[in-house]
Amino acid sequence: MDQEKVIEIKGLYKSFGTYDVLKGVDLDLHKRENLVVLGKSGTGKSVLIKIIVGLLTPDQGAVKVLGQMVDKISYKELLALRLKVGFSFQNSALYDSMTVRQNLEFPLVRNQRNLTKGEVNQAVERVLDAVGLLQTINQMPSELSGGQRKRVGIARTLILQPEVMLYDEPTAGLDPITCLEINNLINEVQERFHTSSIVITHDLTCAKAVGNRVAMLLDGKFERQGTFDEVFNTDDERVKPFYEYNFIQ
């Protein structure tokens, strides 16, 4: 695998009021890998990727995305950077007053103003086809199922052809079969669009299926990073319940 780093995080701290969420996070994302971030609910996984796209500012530490420090660049440069980073929200965050087609067009026509109507339609259909939902193109988000919403959300980020994808709990709240489909989709996206991805999840099946590498967020830090087996081959009381819940039941 290519060892070029697309995301480099060093000594990242973030707190809300008196509550320290991230306490010295170090993390690298290499080119063309899928990194799975595991962690209990409320450990700051979403906060971490929101910092990566500049939705939140770090209190301390260096966050370098595609060679740029996200908290040091101007707003304009940040927008340019965000074009290259796709962000799939935990709750899909589809624009619920717009149809699926308008949802997908929204970022595209605002970032590439010289596209013709035909080119826009073509791009919309291409990504919608990639997530297997071409038939929903004229539906409203409220008419879609949870899994379909996730896919449309992913399609909406793919339409800008990002180099990096950040998935916030793509399988949360879905049935096991839909989870498998989403896992396949994540792998397909990586193959087809040559992205590097961070996948946040607490679903180990998903982690095993898509992750080249696993990092576990414990008490505001990544104490355990490595392959799936390296991370879980431990007696750490904070890690074992994860494994036991998912595979022994």
Partner 1 sequence: MDNKAENPAILQKQAKPPGKITRMFLTLYDVCQFVTRFFKEGFLPPYEGKELMRQCYDIGYRSLALISLTGFITGIVFTKQSRPSLAEFGATSWLPSLVGIALLRTLAPLLTSLIAAGKVGSSIGAELGSMRVTEQIDAMEVSATNPFKFLVTTRVLASTITIPILTFYTAMVGMLGALLNVSLFEDTSARAFFQASLEQITFLDITASTVKAIIFGFTIGIVGCYQGYNSSKGTEGVGKAANSAVVIGMFLIFIEEVVSVQFFGLFRT
Q: 3-state class of 148 per DSSP?
A: helix
Q: How far is the CB of 5 from partner 1 (least distance, A)?
A: 21
- Residues 47-106, interacting with ligand ADP (CB under 6 A): 47
Going by DSSP bridges, is the β-strand pair 196-201/164-168 parallel, antiparallel, or unpaired? parallel
Q: How far apart are CA 187 and CA 171, in angstroms?
A: 13
What does 124-190 look like in DSSP terms, one character per residue? HHHHHHHTT-GGGTTS-GGGS-HHHHHHHHHHHHHTT--SEEEEESTTTT--HHHHHHHHHHHHHHH
The entry of Mg ion, partner 1, ligand ADP, none near residue 44 (CB within 5 to 8 angstroms by kind) is ligand ADP
Q: Which two tokens stand for residue 19?
A: 């509550």
Is residue 41 involved in binding partner 1 (CB under 8 A)?
no
| Residue 124 to residue 130: CA distance in whole angstroms | 10
The least distance separating partner 1 from the CB of residue 124, rounded to whole angstroms, comes to 14
- 127 vs 220, which CB is nearer to ligand ADP? 220
Selected from 36, 44, 158, 220, the binder of ligand ADP by CB under 6 A is 44
Return the amino acid letter for 193: F
- The contacts of residue 246 (CB under 8 Å, 6+ apart) are 203, 204, 205
Q: Is 45 in the site for ligand ADP (CB under 6 A)?
A: yes
Q: Which of 12, 29, 35, 39 binds ligand ADP (CB under 6 A)?
A: 39
Distance CA 164, CA 226 (A): 20
Q: How far is the CB of 86 from partner 1 (least distance, A)?
A: 8
Gap between the terminal Cα atoms of the chain: 35
Between residues 3 and 41, which has the closer beta carbon with respect to ligand ADP?
A: 41
Copy the structure tokens of residue 106: 């929204």
Verify binding: residue 17, partner 1, rule CB under 8 A.
yes
Nearer residue to partner 1 within complex by CB, 17 or 237? 17
CB of 152 to partner 1, least distance (A): 12
Contact positions vs Mg ion (CB under 5 A): 46
Give me the 113-142 binding string for partner 1, x by CB under 8 A, dash otherwise. Answer: x-----------------------------
Judged by beta carbon, residue 21 or residue 85, the one nearer ligand ADP is: 21
